[in-house]
Structures are given as C-alpha cells and as structure tokens.
C-alpha cells in the first residue's frame, strides 16, 4: 500500500486538524498521498487529485466522515476493488466504524497486514423505457422508489425472475443489499441482515395493506419494478446520492453486480458489538 487516497467530509468540526494528523502519520510511513477534492477543501488547499487518478492509482482509500461519505468513495471507485477504510466522524456509522481516536493505531495494523477484507455486494440498477436505457447506477446500500411530497399512494408491480411477486400499494419501496439493511430499510421495518451475506431485501414503505411485509430474496434474483398509473411525481434514488424522476413507460431492473465493495476491518472487529453500540442493544428501554 504505497498510494493512499484520502476522502474527507468538509465542514466537519476539526476536520482540518484530523486530516493533517492522518497525513502526517502517512508521510512518516513514506506513503504517497492522493487528496480527493473534498479532502483538499478540508485542508483549505487548491491542489487535489482527480477521481480518475484516485481510481487508477490508489492502493487504499481512507474515508474521514460518516457512512454517506464512505458510500460516495465507493461510488467514486466504480468497478475497482481498492480496499476502503472508514474512520467515523459522523453519528451512527455502520460502515465507518473505526473511531477517530483509533485511526493511527488501526492504520498501523493495516500496514502491518493485520486486517481483514469484508466483501460487500452491490446492486446494478437500470431504468429502461420501450426504446433505451434512461438511467443506470450501482448501489452499495439501496435504491428507493417513492412518491413526491404531495403525491398519492402508488402501486408498484414487482417481478422476480420473470415471476410476478406482488403489487405493493404504498408510499414507495426499498430494494436493499445486506449492507443497506441497517439504513433506510431498517427505519421502514425491514430485517437486519448480516452484511457479508449475499441477498436482496425488498421492503415496502408504509404499505397500505398490513400483509405486505419485507422479504429477503436470493442474491441471484433478478427484479423488475414498474409503477402503475404514473400520474403523480415519483422518484428513484440510489444510495441517497443520485436519481431521477420516473417517466411514463419506464421500468426498473435490479440485479447483483459483478463487482464488490472491499471494506477493511481489523481482526478484532465484531459486528454484533457494532450493533449493540449503534442500536443500544442491552441498554434499558433500548
């Protein structure tokens, strides 16, 4: 690991000092630093490396921020399998679970080879109309189809492997990876799925029928979603970071991606401890 990219969340309290501390540590290890644009902004400098440079050259990406910042770093890497280490400057941090006070000691372990890689599955998303593809994306967490603020309840047909599954009458629907099971899906009543499993989770948002429950599908499943009677504003959003307004005649196709996100965790990492810490399991009234 010679070339180390840094992605930081600007405007976070003390982010300049934190970033400088990490850079000083890396320089003491004779590492080459690749500053992503937001990291340069955090340092108040003008020079930064392009996304293409980081994608092509980085041996490791360090993310200083919350889960949203880490997701954006994974999206920057696209199909690349470059390992990513998240250092949590956010609030919840299921993906960025290294605490800032443990940052340098964790990096020392990583450079000593004392770490593990967790492969997290991603989903490929295609939106098509009768003639062509109108939108495509990859997600590490989820894609969401939901109605606008003033729209009526929508009906969404879901087909799995060319077999009709259900018409969900709801405010919307979430298609999630196991990594995303602790994100929006969890808030909508979906299950917590161990993050290194390969599966696809379908969770309706505020369904009109109590019988419409979340379902966990095999990772080889290929889904097709179509909003019926698209008379109101309906949007598709991917990882909460990009999306579009759905147009009449469009259908959404979802399947497991061929590429993975590679997250670095230390050998003492314990997912259940993480759940206890983040969700307050075991505390009174938790």
Predicted local confidence at residue 140, as pLDDT: 96
130 and 230 co-located in one domain: yes
The pLDDT mean for the chain works out to: 93
Question: At 65, which CATH number?
Answer: 3.40.50.10330
Domain shared by 148 and 216, yes or no: yes
Average pLDDT over residues 24-51: 95
**How far is residue 69's CA from residue 63's CA, in Å, rounded to a whole number?**
7
pLDDT at position 229 = 83
Please state which of the ranges 109-113, 168-172, 277-281 shows the lowest mean pLDDT: 277-281
Instruction: Report pLDDT for 89.
Output: 87
Q: Are residues 76 and 172 in the same domain?
A: no
* 161 given a catalytic annotation: no
- CA dist 98 and 95 (Å) reads 9
Tokens matching residue 64: 């200083």
Which of 59, 88, 113 is the endpoint of a domain?
A: 113
> CA–CA distance from 225 to each of 137, 166, 219, 238 (Å)?
15, 10, 16, 14
Q: How far apart are CA 140 and CA 88, in angstroms?
A: 18
pLDDT number for residue 247: 93
Kindly state whether residues 165 and 37 are assigned to the same domain.
no
pLDDT of residue 279: 85
Q: Under a CB-based contact definition with an 8 Å cutoff, are residues 117 and 85 in contact?
A: no
Could you tell me if residue 10 is inside a domain? yes
pLDDT, one tens digit per residue, over 130-183 is 999 999 999 999 999 999 877 789 999 999 999 999 999 999 999 999 999 999
Q: Domain check: are 72 and 14 in the same one? A: yes
Element (H, E) at 42: helix 37-43
Neighbour-count burial of 51, counting CB atoms closer than 10 A to its CB (0-12 exposed, 13-18 middle, 19+ buried):
middle
Domain stop point among 95, 113, 131? 113
pLDDT of residue 199: 98
- Do residue 87 and residue 193 come from a single domain? no
Same domain, residue pair 61 and 160: no
Query: Is there a single domain that holds both residue 109 and residue 144?
Result: no
Residue 151 falls inside a structural domain = yes
- What is the span of the domain harbouring residue 153? 122-259
Residues 110, 116: Cα–Cα separation, whole Å: 9
Domain contains 277: no
pLDDT of residue 96: 84
From 59, 67, 155, 229, active-site residue: 67
Q: Are residues 101 and 150 in the same domain?
A: no
Question: What is the domain count for the chain?
Answer: 2
CATH of the domain at 255: 2.60.200.30
% of the chain residues with pLDDT over 70: 99
pLDDT at 83 over 70: yes
95 pLDDT band, cuts 50/70/90, is: confident
More confident residue, 157 or 12: 157
Say if 107 falls within a structural domain: yes
Instruction: Look up residue 233 and give its two tokens.
Output: 């504003």
Residue 234 has pLDDT above 60, yes or no: yes
252 and 133, same domain (yes or no): yes
Query: Does residue 266 fall inside a structural domain?
Result: no
Task: Clarify whether residues 97 and 136 are in a common domain.
Answer: no
Give residue 286's pLDDT: 55
Determine the pLDDT at residue 285.
65
Give bridge partners of residue 202 from the DSSP assignment: 175, 215
How large is the average pLDDT for residues 29-41? 96
With respect to residue 141, please indicate whether it lies within any of the assigned structural domains: yes
Residue 96 lies in a domain: yes
Residue 9 located in a structural domain: yes
Among 82, 113, 144, identify where a domain stops.
Answer: 113
- My answer on whether 139 and 101 are in the same domain is no
Q: Hey, what are 14's tokens?
A: 């003390």
């Amino acid at each position: 690991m010679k070339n180390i990219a840094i992605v930081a969340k600007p405007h976070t309290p003390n982010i300049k000092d934190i970033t400088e501390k990490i850079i000083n540590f890396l320089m003491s290890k004779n590492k080459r630093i690749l500053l992503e644009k937001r990291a340069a902004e955090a340092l108040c400098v003008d020079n930064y490396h392009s996304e293409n440079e980081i994608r092509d050259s980085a041996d490791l990406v360090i993310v200083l921020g919350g889960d949203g910042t880490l997701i954006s770093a994974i999206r920057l890497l696209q199909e690349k399998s470059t390992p990513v280490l998240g250092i949590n400057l956010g609030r919840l941090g299921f993906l960025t679970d290294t605490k800032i006070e443990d940052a340098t000691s964790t990096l020392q372990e990583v450079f000593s080879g004392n770490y593990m890689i967790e492969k997290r599955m991603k989903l490929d998303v295609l939106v098509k109309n009768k003639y062509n593809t109108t939108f495509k994306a990859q997600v590490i967490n989820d894609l969401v189809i939901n109605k606008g603020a003033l729209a009526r309840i929508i009906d969404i047909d879901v087909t799995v492997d060319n077999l009709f599954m259900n018409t969900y009458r709801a405010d919307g629907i979430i298609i999630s990876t196991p990594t995303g099971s602790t994100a929006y899906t969890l808030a909508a009543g979906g299950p917590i799925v161990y993050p290194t499993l390969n599966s696809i989770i379908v969770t309706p948002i505020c369904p009109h029928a109590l019988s419409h429950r979340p379902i966990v599908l095999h990772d080889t499943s290929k889904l097709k979603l179509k909003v019926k009677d698209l008379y109101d504003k309906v949007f598709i959003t991917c990882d909460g970071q990009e999306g579009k307004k759905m147009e009449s005649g469009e259908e959404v196709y979802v399947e497991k991606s061929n590429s993975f996100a590679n997250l670095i965790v230390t050998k003492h990492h314990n997912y259940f401890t993480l759940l206890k810490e983040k969700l307050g399991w075991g505390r009174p009234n938790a």
